């Protein structure tokens, strides 16, 4: 039996056309954009929120800055304190050794010289007229074969350093060796040691000294003070005025009676506290300062 093909007629039924591929692509892109915008949408920060954030940031930076400034200041103070100590301690050892070794440069002479200004008077270890509160000059036995050395301790004129709001001076100790063949190695009253003004060695250099002179922060505290002991009467006199050492006579030569010297060095660096080193130095013995042909 043969199959029968039947046709069905649909009346009044419209057919919707299929969208073009281009339109489908456009619709997909549009839908994706809308979905993405919903997922990552941000409204931003208001002005109040920004002010709060900036205020918190400023406070945080202020705390960090204060902590950093405190740290740096403390570090500077520590370094400056160590610098002061590093200057004072080694210098005090040198100063004490030299003052203990004070010695007469020549025996009592019937003739006068630069170191023996009065005939028949002692040639004192401390140079007559050169004994002061901020400087002093004396002779010391340093073990030199040519004879005792001349020692000059002095504080420079005050000056204001860079970055300082106060004046300070520089304390130095210079050692002048005796010229060869000039010192009396025998009890010869006519020979005296001679020294060159250019041949010297700087042993101590202390900066930022703030005491002893008029324009310094501590002007009334002298660097040097002197105590005498009369070898005949055994009378001890502390803090003898420096003007008393300007003369040396047969009857009285106080430069020959200085038993001990007080040394007070006060050092201050900008932004730090003052550091002080005070000590008193005595002669090695009651006879160690006397002239000896073995020393010269």
Q: How does residue 184 score in pLDDT terms, banded at 50, 70 and 90?
A: confident
Higher pLDDT, 173 or 184: 173
Domain boundaries, the chain: 70-282
Q: Determine the pLDDT at residue 130.
A: 93
SS3 135: strand
Q: Determine the pLDDT at residue 19.
A: 63
Average pLDDT, the chain: 83
pLDDT tens sequence across 108-130:
877 777 788 888 888 899 999 99
- Whether 116 and 247 have beta carbons less than 8 Å apart is answered as no
pLDDT at 241 over 90: yes
Q: Determine the pLDDT at residue 119.
A: 85
Average pLDDT over residues 289-295: 83
Q: What are phi and psi of 195, to 5 degrees?
A: -140, 145
For residue 86, give Cα distances in angstroms to 64, 76, 92, 273, 277: 33, 15, 11, 15, 12
Q: In the chain, pLDDT over 70 holds for what percent of residues?
A: 79
How many C-beta atoms lie closer than 10 Å to residue 94's C-beta? 15
Q: In the chain, pLDDT over 90 holds for what percent of residues?
A: 44
pLDDT at 202 over 80: yes
When mean pLDDT is compared across 50-64, 65-79, 187-201, the lowest value belongs to 65-79
């Amino acid at each position: 039996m043969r199959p029968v093909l039947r046709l069905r007629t649909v009346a009044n039924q419209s057919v919707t056309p299929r969208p073009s591929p281009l339109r489908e692509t456009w619709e997909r892109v549009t839908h994706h954009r809308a979905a993405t915008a919903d997922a990552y949408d941000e409204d931003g920060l208001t002005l109040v929120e920004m002010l709060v954030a900036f205020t918190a940031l400023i406070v945080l930076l202020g705390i960090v800055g204060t902590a950093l400034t405190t740290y740096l200041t403390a570090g500077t103070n520590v370094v400056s304190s160590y610098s002061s100590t590093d200057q004072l301690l080694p210098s005090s050892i040198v100063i004490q050794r030299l003052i203990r070794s004070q010695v007469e440069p020549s025996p009592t002479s019937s003739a006068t010289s630069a170191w023996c200004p009065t005939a028949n008077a002692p040639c004192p270890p401390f140079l007559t007229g050169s004994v002061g509160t901020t400087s002093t000059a004396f002779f010391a036995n340093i073990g030199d074969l040519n004879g005792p050395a001349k020692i000059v301790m002095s504080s420079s004129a005050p000056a204001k350093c860079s970055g300082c709001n106060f004046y300070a001076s520089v304390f130095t100790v210079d050692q002048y060796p005796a010229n060869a063949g000039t010192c009396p190695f025998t009890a010869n009253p006519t020979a005296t040691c001679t020294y060159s003004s250019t041949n010297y060695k700087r042993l101590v250099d202390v900066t930022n000294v703030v005491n002893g002179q008029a324009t310094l922060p501590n002007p009334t505290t002298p660097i040097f003070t002197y105590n005498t002991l009369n070898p005949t009467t055994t009378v001890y006199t502390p803090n003898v005025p420096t003007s008393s050492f300007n003369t040396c006579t047969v009857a009285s030569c106080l430069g020959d009676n200085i038993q001990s010297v007080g040394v007070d060095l006060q050092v201050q660096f900008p932004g730090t506290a003052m550091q002080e080193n005070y000590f008193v130095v005595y002669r090695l013995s009651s006879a160690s300062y006397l002239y000896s042909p073995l020393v010269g």
